[in-house]
Structures are given as structure tokens and as C-alpha cells.
């Protein structure tokens, strides 16, 4: 920049000392200087922008690369083409706070009008005390609940107001796990999952009349799609509960990650027998929660066997969230950790067996020493006395001859 100013000053001096110019030359010179000045300002502004980027600009939170995120473009036709019968896009927010809930304990803290709908507590209407938003909530036994029409702030307040004093949470998570989605209502469309957007509209008739309860309290969303929302909610709750299990398993694997290095460096497992057995019990608890509990992640709930329409809703969202592949991945990690701990347990068993052998040898040696101390003189007399009696007996035989 100093070089540019210096060149400008030199150019001005040359103009003053040069011969007088005509008016047309003077006008061209003025236009040239006017054209140069903005160029210098633009260069300076661009340079400042490069050297001083905004430091407080919010960075977008990266989203998980799931099939649901990859297929998000499929929802663009609905998002970009609103219709008179279509509602605004609203949030579906899933919140997991524990490994499981004791469902009967939730009854006394739930709002009035809450009912038990198949495997979940259904809150048909919950109004946030701060924002005034209305929404509905499904609470499942796997330690998660799904909010329709409510965002993260409202879901957090719902957890504080309803779950905190219910004594229903078993093994609370270190950090809550969340999953967010969006939905629209349109009575002219079929209920389906399109990309990352749930469309609530026309629903085919159910196979059994008993599936839909006859008396349901009024809800903030259409009554006709309550079971469709239930099916989508159950798939979302499984995904979020599985995320909590994945996070806990990652913490567990991190806690035992140094054992192979310790074994390589020192030749010792690095954990005592009791600590290793406790780690193995924690690992078995992970596998039990993944495969053996009533609300496992592999099987389709029995409720959907007689309702193929609702099963299609449940499976569409479960496949989009890749629940089965994630379950297999968690099982593989658990299998690897179990094999590693089995090897370490065998090493501890061999070490204990070797130690027992040394103790037995030492006890035998001590017993031998005690026997020598206690019976040594007598044994010595027996040995030495026999040796002295032999010459006497030989002498007597000689005299007798």
C-alpha cells in the first residue's frame, strides 16, 4: 500500500512539472485517477476480509451420515411446494435420558389426560410453560420419549418437570441422547416417510378394530393418525435408545483400550481378577440390554404382526435409521471385547495356577525342613548307631571263631 501511495505522489509531481496539457488530456488524466482509486479500495477491503475472518460465526453441527440424512433430498418437493391443505413443517424430537423407565412410576407425574397406548404412555397434549407451544409426547420403556410439535428446549423442560421427580429412570445416561426429525400434516396425502420428512395424512384401514382404542382424549394432532405417530415414535425411540447404548459402549471400550498395550509392554493384564470380572459383568449387561430385554433392537414388536400398515411405517423409519446394521455393529464390538477379556481371564487363571504351584512347592519344602528339625537327631542316631554296631558284631564273630 505504501508503494501505491508513493507511486501516486510521484505521478502527481511529474504532472505538475510537465508542460501544460490541453483540457482533453486533463480530463483523461482525471478519469484515469478516478478509476484507480476505487480499485485500490476494493483491494484493501478484500485484503482485510481475508486477514480478519469473523471469529464468532456459528458453526453448523455435523449430522450423522445415515440413510435418512442421505435421502433428505427426497423431501425437497414437499418442502418447496406448499399447498393450502398442508400444515407448516413442525419438529419431531426424541430424547433419551436413561437405559429404561419403570412405566408404572410415571403415572403420578404425567399430566392429566395421559393414557397407556399399547407399549407407551401417550400424553395427548402438553403445553410448555415458557413458550406456550402445544405438542404430544410418547414415553417408552427403553428410556426415551418422543415429542411431536415440540423442540429441544421444550423436551428438556418436559424431562425436568415430569421425569425428574418420578423415580422412573433406571441407570440414567451421562448425557441425554437426541434425534430430531420433522413432519407435516396433509389430509390429501398418504401417510408415509419421504426422505427425512414424515407426512401425516390418509391412513389405510387397520386389520383389527381393537387396535384403535374406542375412547381417546383429544389431541393437538389428528386422531386418525395417532397410531401412525405411535409407530414412527417407536422407531425413533429405538434409534435414540440405541445411540445411548452406543455411547456407553464407547466409554467402556475406551476404559479397556489400554489393556492390550499393557499386556504388550509388561506381559501382565493390567487389571486384577476382581476388576476384570466386574468389567466382564458390565459387558454382559450391554449384551443383555441389546438382545435379551423385552424392548430389544432386533425384533419387530408383536403389536405389528397383525397390523401390516403400521408395521410398514415402523420398518420404513427403522430402515432409514439403520437400526439393524447398527445393532450388528454393537454386537460385533461386544464380541471383540468379550474375546479380549476371555484371553485376559485365561492369563490370570494361568498366573494363579502357577502361583499355587509355587506355594505348594514352598509348603512341601517347609514341611521337609520341619521334619528334619523335629526328627533329625533321631534319624541321625539311627543311621550312626547301625554303623557302630557293625564293627562290634564282626569282632564278636571273630572271637567266637
Q: What is the pLDDT of residues 310-368, one digit of tens each?
A: 999 999 999 999 999 999 999 899 888 888 887 887 777 766 666 777 888 888 888 88
- Phi and psi for 79 in degrees, rounded to 5? -70, -35
Alpha helices in 18-72 (DSSP H): 23-51, 67-70
pTM for the full predicted model:
0.71
Whether 96 shows a pLDDT value over 60: the answer reads: yes
Whether 140 shows a pLDDT value over 80: the answer reads: yes
Least confident window among 16-30, 97-111, 202-216 = 16-30
- What confidence tens digit (pLDDT) does each residue in 293-310 have? 766 787 888 889 889 999
pLDDT greater at residue 86 or residue 64: 86
DSSP state of 309: H
Cα separations (Å) of 366 from 239, 361, 376, 379, 401? Answer: 64, 9, 14, 18, 51
Measure the CA–CA gap between 27 and 37, rounded to whole angstroms. Answer: 16
Report, as an integer, the average pLDDT of 243-258. Answer: 89
Whether 129 shows a pLDDT value over 60: the answer reads: yes
pLDDT greater at residue 383 or residue 141: 141
Report, as an integer, the average pLDDT of 133-159. Answer: 95
Determine what percent of the chain is predicted with pLDDT higher than 70: 77
Measure the CA–CA gap between 192 and 316, rounded to whole angstroms. Answer: 8
Measure the CA–CA gap between 252 and 112, rounded to whole angstroms. Answer: 40
**Confidence class for position 94, pLDDT limits 50, 70, 90:** very high
The cell numbers describing 144, all together, are 426415551
Number of H helices, E strands in the chain: 10, 8
Residue 211's closest CA among 192, 230, 233, 238?
A: 230
Cα separations (Å) of 345 from 84, 238, 280? Answer: 67, 34, 10
**The pLDDT of residue 31:** 54
Measure CA 280 to chain center: 21
pLDDT greater at residue 46 or residue 114: 114
Least confident window among 12-21, 96-105, 242-251 = 12-21
**Confidence class for position 162, pLDDT limits 50, 70, 90:** very high
The answer to whether 220 and 135 are in contact (CB under 8 A) is yes
Measure the CA–CA gap between 317 and 111, rounded to whole angstroms. Answer: 28
The answer to whether 219 and 134 are in contact (CB under 8 A) is no
Whether 279 shows a pLDDT value over 90: the answer reads: no
Residue 109's closest CA among 162, 170, 164?
A: 162
Amino acid at each position: 500500500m505504501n508503494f501505491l501511495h508513493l507511486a501516486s505522489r510521484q505521478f502527481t509531481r511529474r504532472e505538475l512539472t510537465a508542460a501544460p496539457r490541453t483540457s482533453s488530456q486533463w480530463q483523461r488524466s482525471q478519469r484515469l485517477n478516478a478509476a484507480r482509486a476505487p480499485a485500490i479500495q476494493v483491494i484493501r477491503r478484500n485484503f482485510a476480509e481475508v486477514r480478519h475472518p469473523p471469529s464468532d460465526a456459528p458453526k453448523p453441527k455435523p449430522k450423522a451420515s445415515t440413510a435418512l440424512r442421505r435421502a433428505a433430498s427426497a423431501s425437497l418437493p414437499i418442502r418447496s411446494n406448499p399447498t393450502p391443505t398442508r400444515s407448516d413443517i413442525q419438529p419431531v424430537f426424541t430424547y433419551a435420558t436413561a437405559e429404561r423407565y419403570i412405566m408404572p412410576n410415571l403415572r403420578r407425574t404425567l399430566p392429566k389426560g395421559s393414557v397407556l397406548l399399547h407399549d407407551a404412555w401417550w400424553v395427548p397434549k402438553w403445553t410448555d410453560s415458557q413458550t406456550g407451544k402445544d405438542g404430544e409426547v410418547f414415553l417408552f420403556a427403553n428410556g426415551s420419549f418422543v415429542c411431536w410439535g415440540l423442540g429441544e428446549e421444550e423436551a428438556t423442560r418436559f424431562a425436568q418437570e415430569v421425569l425428574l421427580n418420578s423415580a422412573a429412570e433406571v441407570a440414567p445416561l451421562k448425557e441425554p441422547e437426541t434425534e430430531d426429525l420433522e413432519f407435516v400434516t396433509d389430509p390429501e396425502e398418504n401417510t408415509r416417510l419421504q426422505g427425512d420428512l414424515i407426512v401425516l395424512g390418509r391412513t389405510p384401514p387397520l386389520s383389527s378394530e381393537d387396535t384403535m382404542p374406542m375412547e381417546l382424549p383429544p389431541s393437538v394432532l389428528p386422531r386418525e393418525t395417532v397410531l401412525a405417530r405411535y409407530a414412527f415414535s417407536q422407531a425413533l425411540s429405538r434409534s435414540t435408545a440405541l445411540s445411548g447404548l452406543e455411547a456407553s459402549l464407547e466409554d467402556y471400550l475406551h476404559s479397556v483400550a489400554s489393556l492390550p498395550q499393557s499386556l504388550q509392554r509388561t506381559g501382565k493384564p493390567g487389571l486384577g481378577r476382581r476388576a476384570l470380572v466386574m468389567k466382564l459383568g458390565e459387558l454382559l449387561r450391554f449384551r443383555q440390554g441389546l438382545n435379551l430385554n423385552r424392548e430389544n433392537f432386533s425384533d419387530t414388536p408383536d403389536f405389528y404382526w397383525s397390523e401390516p400398515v403400521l408395521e410398514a411405517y415402523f420398518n420404513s423409519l427403522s430402515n432409514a435409521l439403520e437400526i439393524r446394521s447398527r445393532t450388528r455393529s454393537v454386537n460385533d464390538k461386544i464380541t471383540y471385547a468379550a474375546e479380549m477379556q476371555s484371553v485376559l481371564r485365561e492369563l490370570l487363571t494361568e498366573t494363579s495356577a502357577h502361583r499355587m504351584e509355587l506355594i505348594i512347592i514352598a509348603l512341601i519344602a517347609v514341611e521337609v525342613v520341619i521334619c528334619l528339625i523335629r526328627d533329625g537327631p533321631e534319624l541321625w542316631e539311627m543311621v550312626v548307631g547301625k554303623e557302630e554296631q557293625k564293627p562290634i558284631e564282626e569282632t564278636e564273630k571273630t572271637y567266637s571263631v
